[in-house]
């Protein structure tokens, strides 16, 4: 699994053919594409 920081509020999480985007806000964050093959995407996103 690769976790790539694009800028201060955008992360790309890649695992095999799965790519997810984590967008951080001041109060909330959004995870785009839940990455069905990643075992515990919520745990990865919180880290």
Q: What is the pLDDT of residues 1-13, one digit of tens each?
A: 899 999 999 999 9
Residue 37 has pLDDT above 90, yes or no: no
Query: Mean pLDDT, the chain, as a whole number?
Result: 86
Give the chain's end-to-end CA distance (angstroms, integer): 13
pTM for this model (two decimals): 0.71
Give the Cα separation of 12 and 43 in Å (integer). 15
Give the Cα separation of 19 and 34 in Å (integer). 9
């Amino acid at each position: 699994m690769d976790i790539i920081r694009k800028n201060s509020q955008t992360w790309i999480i890649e695992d095999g053919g799965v790519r997810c985007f984590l967008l951080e806000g001041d109060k909330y964050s959004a995870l785009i594409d839940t990455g069905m093959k990643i075992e515990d995407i919520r745990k990865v996103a919180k880290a």
